[in-house]
Structure 1
Amino acid sequence: MGFQVEAYQQALPLKSVFRIARGAKTQADVVVVTLTDGVYTGWGESVPYARYQESVQSVLEQIDQTAKSLATFEGDLSGVRARINAMPSGAARNVMDCALWDLVAKSQQKSVAQLLSLSTPAPCVTAQTLSIDTPEAMAAAAKALGHPPLIKVKLDNQDIVKKMQAIHLASPESQFIVDANEGWSIDDLKACGDNLKALNVILIEQPLPVGDDAGLIDYSCPVPLCADESCHTREELAYLKGRYDAVNIKLDKTGGLTEAYALAQEAQVMGFEIMLGCMVGSSLAMAPISLLSDCAKYVDLDGPLLIKTDRENGFAIKDGVMQPLNPALWGYPQSQVIL
Structure 2
Amino acid sequence: MQLILREFELKLKHTFTISRKSIDVQPTLIVELKSEGFSGYGEATSNPYYNIGVPMMIQDLLKIKKQIEVVTNETPEEYWDKMYPFLKENLFALCALDIAYNDLYARKKGKKLYELWNYPIDKIPLTDFTIGIDTIEKMVLKMEEMPWPIYKIKLGTPDDIAIVKELRKHSNSVFRVDANCGWEVNETLNNAIELKKLGVEFIEQPLKADNWEGHATIFKNSVLPIIADESCILEEDVVKCHTYFHGVNIKLMKCGGITPGRRMIQQAKNLGLKTMVGCMTESTVGISAIAHLLPELDYVDMDGALLLAEDIATGVAIIDGKIIYSQTNGTGVQLKDSISFHA
Q: TM-score, normalised by structure 1?
A: 0.90
| 1:55-74 paired onto structure 2 within 5 Å | 55-71=53-69, 73-74=70-71
- The Cα of 1:40 is off from its aligned counterpart by 2.5
CA deviation after TM superposition for structure 1 residue 165, in Å: 0.5
Name the residue aligned to 2:341: none
In 2, Cα distance between the equivalents of 1:322 and 1:94? Answer: 25
Alignment of 1:232-311 (within 5 A): 232-311=233-312
Aligned to 2:324: 324
Superposition deviation, residue 123 in structure 1: 6.1
Q: Which runs of 5+ in 2 are unaligned?
A: 335-343
2:14 to 13, 16, 37: 16
Aligned letter for 2:225?
P
Opposite residue 75 of structure 1, the aligned amino acid is T
Q: Unaligned 5+ residue runs, structure 1?
A: 335-339
Q: Taking structure 1 as reference, are residues 286 and 329 closer, same or farther at Cα in structure 2, changes over 3 Å only? A: farther
Partners in 2 of 1:326 and 1:121 — Cα distance? Answer: 15
For residues 301 and 332 of structure 1, the distance between their equivalents in structure 2, rounded to whole angstroms, comes to 15
1:69-118 Cα distance to aligned partner (Å, 9 max, x none): 223x2434356443224332621011100110111112222222222222
Structure 1 CA distance for aligned equivalents of residues 214 and 72 of structure 2 = 51
Determine the structure 1 residue equivalent to 2:34: 36
* Matched residue SS, 1:98: helix
Q: Is the Cα–Cα contact under 8 Å of residues 107 and 333 in structure 1 kept in the other structure?
A: no
- Secondary structure at 1:310 match in 2: coil
Q: Which amino acid in the other structure matches residue 231 of structure 1? A: C
Question: SS at the partner of 1:133?
Answer: coil
- After TM superposition, give the deviation of residue 68 of structure 1 in Å: 2.5
**Which AA in structure 2 matches 1:115?**
L
Q: Please report how far the alpha carbon of residue 175 of structure 1 lies from its aligned counterpart in structure 2 after TM superposition.
A: 1.2
Equivalent position of 2:97 in the other structure = 96
For residue 269 of structure 1, report the CA deviation from its aligned partner.
0.6
The reply on whether 1:198 has 2:191 as its aligned counterpart is: no
How many residue pairs match? The answer is 328
* Equivalent position SS for 2:64: helix
Deviating beyond 6 angstroms after TM superposition, the runs of 4 or more aligned structure 1 residues are none
% identical aligned pairs? 28
Q: Distance in 2 between matches of 1:317 and 1:258?
A: 24
Matches within 5 A, 1:42-191: 42-71=40-69, 73-77=70-74, 80-86=79-85, 87-88=87-88, 90-120=91-121, 124-146=125-147, 148-171=148-171, 173-191=172-190
Equivalent residues of 2:184, 2:207 under 8 A apart: yes
Q: Provide the alpha-carbon RMSD of the alignment.
A: 2.1
Give the deviation of 1:316 after TM superposition: 2.5
Cα offsets for 1:265-294 (capped at 9, x unmatched): 110110110112100011111111111112
Residue 332 to residue 105, structure 1, CA distance change in 2 (3 Å) = farther
Distance in 1, Cα, partners of 2:84 & 2:109: 20
Contact 2:207 2:214 in 1 (8 A): no
The TM-score normalised by the length of structure 2 is 0.89
Report the CA distance shift for 1:333/1:75 in structure 2 as closer, same or farther (over 3 A): farther
Q: Which amino acid aligns with 1:102?
A: D
Counterpart amino acid of 1:117? Answer: N
Decide whether the 8 Å contact of 1:122 with 1:323 is kept in 2: no
Superposition deviation, residue 182 in structure 1:
0.8
**Amino acid of the structure 2 residue aligned with 1:209:** K
2:31 is matched by which residue type in structure 1? V
**Letter aligned with residue 77 of structure 1:** E
Post-superposition offset of 1:169: 1.0
Q: Which amino acid aligns with 2:154?
A: K
Cα 1:328/1:109, change in 2 over 3 Å: closer
Contact 2:181 2:208 in 1 (8 A): yes
Secondary structure of the 2:211 match is coil
